[in-house]
Amino acid sequence: MDESSVCTLFEFYLFLSEFEFYKRYYFVFSTQTANHAGAKSACVGLGGHLAIIPDAETQTFIQTKGAAYKSAGKWMTSNNDAYIDAVKTSDGTGWEWSTTHDKFYFSTSPRGSGPNLQNGKYNNWHVHFPRNTEDYGVVGSNLGSYSWSWKSVSASTVAHYICQIQGNILKGAYEQKFNLCIDRNA
């Protein structure tokens, strides 16, 4: 990939997505939509992965920023869901973060009214999710009183996505590229 294509890629995300820094990571709230493979590929292309939500504080951050962008018409304008890094485990016994393989939900049946902690691991499944026929997780912004909870979907579901990029990777590796792109457009 030559320098101009890198600039074009980052200009695209810089101007069409919302970036937020939280707990040493940049979170990119992509305005684009894709199926699971496309969403994952886009995040990897930025040097990161789909967002991991390991605790209630990160959930609150995503929910607060996401709701603000949505109400301002900057994000989730064509769809009410966004992919996160949650996937069903390869043995089908629960759910894990695909990047770290850290298992966080030890069942494939809906959470119901159970707690958001299971075996000391946080989850924010909607009461009717996950479903055992679906393999990927999204955060849903339009779920009534359960807005911003997680639901399971199939790989072909088209949704927005949230990327997570380590702060020093974005700053160190791409700072010069961002500056070139911005200077070129000034």
- Mapped onto helix, strand or coil, the DSSP state of residue 29 is strand
Higher pLDDT, 33 or 172: 33
At which residue do the structure tokens 């955060």 appear? 139
Give the pLDDT score at 36. 98
Residue 46: pLDDT above 80? yes
Give the pLDDT score at 177. 46
Give the pLDDT score at 169. 61
Residue type, 176: Q
Q: What does the pLDDT look like over 167-177, one tens digit per residue?
A: 876 554 444 44
What would the mean pLDDT of 60-87 be, rounded to a whole number? 93
Higher pLDDT, 161 or 118: 161
Give how many domains the chain has, as a whole number: 1
Residue 181: pLDDT above 70? no
Residue 84: pLDDT above 70? yes
Burial of 151 (0-12, 13-18, 19+ CB in 10 A): buried
Q: Are strands 117-118 and 102-105 parallel, antiparallel or unpaired?
A: unpaired
Give the pLDDT score at 108. 86
Give the pLDDT score at 183. 45
What is the CB neighbour count within 10 angstroms for residue 115? 8
Residue 43: pLDDT above 50? yes
Distance CA 137, CA 66 (A): 16
Burial of 89 (0-12, 13-18, 19+ CB in 10 A): middle
- Mapped onto helix, strand or coil, the DSSP state of residue 103 is strand
- Computed over every residue of the chain, the mean pLDDT equals 84
The length of the chain is 186
Give the pLDDT score at 85. 98
Domain span at residue 80? 3-185
- Mapped onto helix, strand or coil, the DSSP state of residue 176 is helix
- Using CA of residue 11, residue 43, residue 81, residue 35, what is the dihedral sign? positive
Residue in 153, 102, 100 with CA at minimum distance from that of residue 125 = 153
Q: What is the CATH number of the domain that holds 32?
A: 3.10.100.10
Lowest mean pLDDT among 16-25, 59-68, 92-101: 16-25
pTM over 0.75, yes/no: yes
Q: What does the pLDDT look like over 91-137, one tens digit per residue?
A: 999 999 999 999 999 988 888 887 788 889 999 999 999 998 999 99
The two counts, helices (H) then strands (E), for the chain are 5, 11
